[in-house]
Structure 1
Amino acid sequence: MFAVLRPAVRRRTASCLQHLHEGLARRRISEAIAKPNQIRHISSSAPTRAQYVKFKGGHNSSWSNPSQWSTQQRLLVAVGTGLTVYYVSHLERVPETGRWRFIDSNPKMETKLGEYMHQELVQEFRGKILPPNHPLTLQIRKVVERILTANDLGHLKGSEPSVTLPQLLSQALPGLGAHDESGGWDPYLNRGANDVAPGTGGGGREWNLLVVNDPNVVNAMATYGDIVVFTGLLPVTKDEQGLAAVIGHEIGHCVARHTSERYSRSRILLAITTLVAAALGTDFGIANIATKLLLDLPNSRAQELEADLIGLRLCSKACYDPRAAPRVQAALADLERKHPGALRIDLLATHPKSDRRAQILEQHLPEAYAMQAASPACAGLQAELDAFRHAYGFSGATGDAGQFEPVSRW
């Protein structure tokens, strides 16, 4: 019986084993499908790695190989070359200091600019301009005329006859002259048809003097044909010597043609900024900030120091005490410390610190005194009576010196 049953058992056993192997195989396949990341793929090719792909053309193009430059790059190079040639061809030295600068304006443009700025100044300060016969105007006029005459820079328009100290202190001010509706002096109302436009001529240039009665503005300025003095400056300058130092500085800006230089520089900086932004693919605003910090503001500070030096020489030739220039700067430094205002960052400033300006002026005092010693016109003038402080006290146009707060710089 056992002999008969053995083949059947073997067949049954073999069938069970076959079903078992098939079940295990199906299980492995199911697990593989459920977990595909466990499947290892075999490839005969080399494994690939993540790589940075650099696209050709545009701002990512290399500048090291000119033969592969794009059309845009070639155009930028051509414009940059032309701009460089134009810049170099318009470089010149400032005669008074020897500083190299770019300037592409002409005297005709300066004359038109002077006329335009004169009209703007008169409109802006209408009602605040003191009349020509005001004591302050007469004293300031005396200082301006002395500086202009001594340096052959022209003369003031409508020069008044000389006024002695007794006459100045004793005269009553009836308000004679032309006035506008608000009561201030209007220079336009006394103009004749044959008047020469401000800023015209060379050594015969005619200047306008505008004394603005605003005690809150510690400032003075000069344009091509106009000299503007605010009454708030007078308590800081204290006397005629100090006022001459400030006016000499402002006229120094005109002598060096700083306004024309700034106008020329603004145009060339705009071109440079546009070119840099296009070449490097940077934002125009970022490029503009960079050029302003690296080129524009440093040049502005250099102009202020240059005007200080030129003004010192102008006042020395006019026989004013050169030491008044650093003294006024020291007074302005004290005023800045009393009224600090916003946090000052030298890198962002258009003017150097007054302390530094005073130190630099001190260094040039020997040169200024030597200039005076060589001038016969300066002999004995230091003993002249200084009527400026008396005239200022008589007018009563301003208040206590301790109440003034600077709102502008010169």
Structure 2
Amino acid sequence: MNPVGFARSSTGMFATRVMRAAFTTAARTFAPASRPTQFTSFQTSRGPLSRNIHPSPSQWRSTFRLAQQRTYASYNYRRFGGSRAAGSLLRRWAARPTFYYEVGGIGGVCGGYYIYNLERVPVSGRRRFNIISPQYEEQAGQAQYEQTLSQFGKSILPHYTKEHQMVQRVLDRLVPHSGLENEKWEVHVIDDDMKNAFVIPGGKVFVFRGILDICQGDDGLAAVLGHEIAHNVAHHMAERLSEMYILAPVSLAISVLGGIDYRLIDTVGNLALSLPHSRRQEEEADYIGLLMMAESCYDPSAAVGLWTRMEQAEQGSPPQFLSTHPSSHNRMEKIRSWLPEAQQKSETNDCHVTSGYGLYNRVQSLGLP
């Protein structure tokens, strides 16, 4: 059938209607279609007029395929539009004539609040931000204490074991030099090979049996307990809670206003702020604990031997910049640099008297039984 006969037939008329419907559907978009800026001229050949008006059968087939296809791009649909909305919010705020005054006011209020809550850490003298009271810190410590008991309660050694008595003996000499004599101290030795120990605010001491092999005596254990008690002396838990209460809203505000994924902000903040801050606290606890054990007439050089053995026992530890603690090697070097000050502290407290009579007088002067 020639093109003219096909166009006059019923099939041709149906195809013509389908083609027109397809063109009409394709033109219905949410964005207005662009219009040509110049007139379009249609050139015709010298052949019959029907050759220019009626398309060929191959063109009809392409028209049918076009009508059957669905074009979603014209709707400009986006499944996730949070970043665009956040950027729009930030742009609208920045467009306000009082934008710089508002930013300056917010910065001034936040800066004043930060400066107002600065305080000095005992012994080390470091200035830090803290908004948590000792009472609230102790309440948080009580919750942690109950959780630890529920986890390790069945593995705690009785008080008459030699491990428990060793920890109690060293603790009794350290506490009078900690400034925390009024806390209700309790010793818990966990029958586990883990090489760890910690002291929860409120005087709750937990020592894993595995670390006693690394300590190799009272002096090494005094280095461990002195470090853990020092965390409570410096109120490091309160400092970490204060940091969390400030960084979490700031990270959320940056995520909302800047349209940045909160997980990315949290990762960057952890690497850039939280982990370095945690390592600084650990270093500070090493310093305070070293002076504490020196005042208690323990050999401060035993701390160097302790971390030497810890370095040998560590297997597959992460790099320091990914850890909450400094590496054992770096801790040894820091402690070596502090040893002259610690030894001077020992001489000031007459710890050079090593005889049983001298030690007895020293214990009596501390008011211990």
Q: Give the match for residue 195 of structure 2.
A: 218
Q: Does 1:94 align with 2:94?
A: no
Read off the aligned partner of 2:352 and give its amino acid letter.
Answer: A
Tell me how far apart the structure 2 counterparts of residues 382 and 273 of structure 1 sit (CA, whole Å): 58
Q: Give the match for residue 316 of structure 2.
A: 340
- How far off is 1:275 after superposition? 2.1
Q: Does 1:282 align with 2:260?
A: yes
Q: Does 1:144 align with 2:171?
A: yes
Superposed CA offset, 1:233-292 (max 9, x none): 011111111111001000010100011111111111101211222332212111111211
More helix by share: 2
Q: Give the match for residue 58 of structure 1.
A: 88
Q: Give the match for residue 67 of structure 1.
A: 97
Q: Does 1:354 align with 2:311?
A: no
Give matches, 1:238-253, under 5 Å.
Answer: 238-253=216-231
Q: Does 1:228 align with 2:206?
A: yes
Tell me how far apart the structure 2 counterparts of residues 74 and 317 of structure 1 sit (CA, whole Å): 54
What SS does the aligned partner of 2:154 have?
A: coil
Q: Give the match for residue 205 of structure 1.
A: 183
Q: Does 1:291 align with 2:304?
A: no
Tell me how far apart the structure 2 counterparts of residues 289 and 383 of structure 1 sit (CA, whole Å): 55
What SS does the aligned partner of 2:144 have?
A: helix
What SS does the aligned partner of 1:127 have?
A: helix
CA contact under 8 A between 2:121 and 2:128: conserved in structure 1? yes
Q: Give the match for residue 64 of structure 2.
A: none
Structure 2 segments unaligned to the other structure (5+ residues): 1-43, 53-84, 358-369
- How far off is 1:78 after superposition? 6.0
Correspondent of 1:380 among 350, 353, 361: 353
Superposed CA offset, 1:76-106 (max 9, x none): 7765554443323212221221222211111
Tell me how far apart the structure 2 counterparts of residues 350 and 115 of structure 1 sit (CA, whole Å): 23
Q: Give the match for residue 321 of structure 1.
A: 299
Superposed CA offset, 1:167-208 (max 9, x none): xxxxxxxxxxxxxxxxxxxxxxxxxxxxxxxxxxxxx22211
Cα separation, partners in 2 of 1:83 and 1:277, compared to 1, 3 Å: farther
**Which structure: larger Rg?**
1
CA contact under 8 A between 1:151 and 1:317: conserved in structure 2? no
Identity of aligned residues (%): 31
Q: Does 1:115 align with 2:142?
A: yes
CA contact under 8 A between 1:316 and 1:371: conserved in structure 2? yes
CA contact under 8 A between 2:156 and 2:190: conserved in structure 1? yes
Between 1 and 2, higher relative CO (CA 8 Å, sep ≥ 6) is seen in 1
Superposed CA offset, 1:133-153 (max 9, x none): 212111211001001124443
- How far off is 1:118 after superposition? 2.5
Q: Give the match for residue 182 of structure 1.
A: none
Tell me how far apart the structure 2 counterparts of residues 63 and 293 of structure 1 sit (CA, whole Å): 30
Tell me how far apart the structure 2 counterparts of residues 369 and 119 of structure 1 sit (CA, whole Å): 38
CA contact under 8 A between 2:187 and 2:204: conserved in structure 1? yes
What SS does the aligned partner of 1:92 have?
A: strand
Read off the aligned partner of 2:163 and give its amino acid letter.
Answer: L
Cα separation, partners in 2 of 1:59 and 1:294, compared to 1, 3 Å: farther
CA contact under 8 A between 1:151 and 1:318: conserved in structure 2? no
The count of aligned residue pairs is 282
CA contact under 8 A between 2:178 and 2:229: conserved in structure 1? no
Cα separation, partners in 2 of 1:150 and 1:288, compared to 1, 3 Å: closer
Tell me how far apart the structure 2 counterparts of residues 122 and 68 of structure 1 sit (CA, whole Å): 55
